Structure 1
């Protein structure tokens, strides 16, 4: 029997100075689901950036941006396999420093469509720290 329920889910791994400090699930927001549907007609727009923020406001389907964005960087890699896409982004020492509690994936360097947002326990990124986030979106 064919399952007619198409789902988008995500998981996030946060590494500080090369050590995994958190793993958490995320919410694929409504705008993100619409973006995926639009790719069936126009495959020219891709996710290009990840942002960090400092808000602890719960993720909600109607959100289109981080609540309190701190910094946004270009993705360092995008890996596509059978039913997953893994996005990775690194913030080097001195970049994106602060008490980080939220992250999102975007298709533009300043605004654009947000695919997913997550809120997590605080990760304190000092000025000499580097942080890498690997975000896997699964279509099932």
Structure 2
């Protein structure tokens, strides 16, 4: 009898909630922005299980601070204004700092994208910008969907 296949292993992991959703033909599990947090400000079990692993997350690119920035903010819904630039705007709860592995073209704020990168959890302050983040995708890249 043959041993378990990759498909069986992923199905078993997904059944117990640690593998996220895997799209056919893609190795990285998907997690939704809404599934990163559990109760209050605590991270969900799914997010904790995927920490330090390559994941895919869909969302929208908030307008960057500056055109040559090596990062952007991924949001659940389109934001026409940079969340850093308008002090009157409420800070969204469902955002992720995305640090790019290489320079890429920016896309319009209202076009959905899929971002792939290493999920990093925990409070961190960026030395260059002073931006405080709790969730990051590191060495990331993205594509329009």
Would you call these one fold, judging by a TM-score over 0.5? no
* Larger of the two Rg values belongs to structure: 2
TM-score (norm 2): 0.26
Q: If each structure's strand is expressed as a fraction of its own residues, which one has the higher value?
A: 1
TM-score (norm 1): 0.26
Higher relative contact order (CA 8 A, sep 6+): 1
